[in-house]
A = this chain, B = another copy of it.
Amino acid sequence: VVASSALPVAVDAMGGDYAPEEVVAGALEAHHAGISVVLVGPPDQLGDVDGVEVIAASEAIGMDEDPAQAVRRKKDASLVRAAEAVRDGRACAMVSAGNTGAAMASALLRIGRLKGILRPAIATPIPRPGRTPTVLIDAGANADCSALMLVQFARMGAAFATARYGVPAPNIGLLSIGEEPTKGSALAKEAHRLLAAERELRFAGNIEGRDVLGGEVDVVVTDGFTGNVVLKALEGALRFFTAQLAQAFDANDEARRAAEVLLPLLAPLAEQFDPDNTGGAMLLGVEGVCVISHGASKRKAIASAVRVAHELAASDLVERISAAAAG
């Protein structure tokens, strides 16, 4: 299944904290920017969709629902129907800001896994000032991994960095707790051994936690447990420092005047780290493009995710991932 990017991007209108209003608004924003979209959800709940096509789906999957169960039971859920639209050749890609596990399950059960892929994984771009983002894979799809899975994540992550950011030969770091190959968990040590033997990959060896943000490698490979923890730790740190900074900037009149000078200088950084601009995470290893936007997505984040989904559908991402599976 290689979807034509002439097809619309299917947007799960009921997924995310601000669904359906902000999701519909974001989809319309993309539509007005010339990207073909189709909204998936209950037509009577979507408001004015400005002539955009709607695929009817009567149910919604909540953020806290058990993913596998929800996808099995709610056959008419917007998320499930969005995945079916990709499967059936009605859409070139799917976008959801809803339950991540359910998005994964829908993609896996309806679109299907790419041949040879052990397990799909989530690739999340981490902004790097002045450079292409660092791709973290797996950011949370697989809590328990084998070393072979990590090798496939490395291949998929490299394929993604090339297809999405044009990095010709992405260099790949294995997240561990020491740079030497002998440092780390049994899993990390075995993965290191296997990755060092991969001829098609540019393996840079082990990296440490401090190298994830603003580091040298293009792809950070790790299991979905560590990846999710480290990604959320970085998000938490960003939020923490921003809050501390905001407090100092608002301490008194003099500070507020000084802040007026400095804030514009910090704006590009804030802009780059704004999750509204990164386009969301990607589920790699399924037979189609599936973009998972963050749960708090508002219209800007959705529009950005739709744009990325469309670009990826037009790229050779799925073919590259498919080739990566073969190794």
With A175-B229, A176-B225 given, name 13 new contacts (CB 8 A). A177-B228, A209-B235, A210-B233, A214-B236, A215-B236, A222-B229, A225-B226, A244-B269, A248-B262, A248-B265, A257-B261, A258-B259, A259-B262
Q: Does A232 contact B (CB under 8 A)?
A: yes
Q: In residues 83-127 of chain A, which contact B (Cβ within 8 Å)?
A: none
Contacts of A185 in B (CB 8 A): 143-144, 223, 225
By the criterion of a CB under 8 Å from any partner CB, how many residues of chain A are at the interface? 56
Contacts of A261 in B (CB 8 A): 254-255, 257-258
Expressed in whole angstroms, the Cα–Cα distance for A40 and B232 within the complex equals: 42
Q: Does A18 contact B (CB under 8 A)?
A: no
Whether the Cβ atoms of A177 and B140 lie closer than 8 Å is yes
Interface residues of A (CB under 8 A from B): 64, 129, 140, 143-144, 175-177, 180, 183-186, 188, 208-215, 222-226, 228-241, 244-245, 248-249, 251, 254-255, 257-259, 261-262, 265-266, 269
Binding site of A, secondary structure by majority: helix, strand, loop or mixed? helix
A317 CB, nearest partner CB in chain B, Å: 26
Residue of A180, A240, A251 contacting most chain B CB atoms (<10 Å)? A240
- 6 A-B contacts (beta carbon < 8 Å): A209-B231, A209-B232, A237-B238, A237-B241, A257-B261, A259-B262
Contacts of A144 in B (CB 8 A): 185-186
Expressed in whole angstroms, the Cα–Cα distance for A232 and B244 within the complex equals: 20
**Given contacts A175-B229, A214-B240, A262-B259, are A143 and B184 in contact (CB under 8 A)?**
yes
Contacts of A231 in B (CB 8 A): 209
Whether the Cβ atoms of B269 and A262 lie closer than 8 Å is no
Expressed in whole angstroms, the Cα–Cα distance for A258 and B262 within the complex equals: 7
Whether the Cβ atoms of B236 and A265 lie closer than 8 Å is no
Contacts of A234 in B (CB 8 A): 209, 233, 237
Expressed in whole angstroms, the Cα–Cα distance for A183 and B68 within the complex equals: 13
Expressed in whole angstroms, the Cα–Cα distance for A10 and B226 within the complex equals: 36
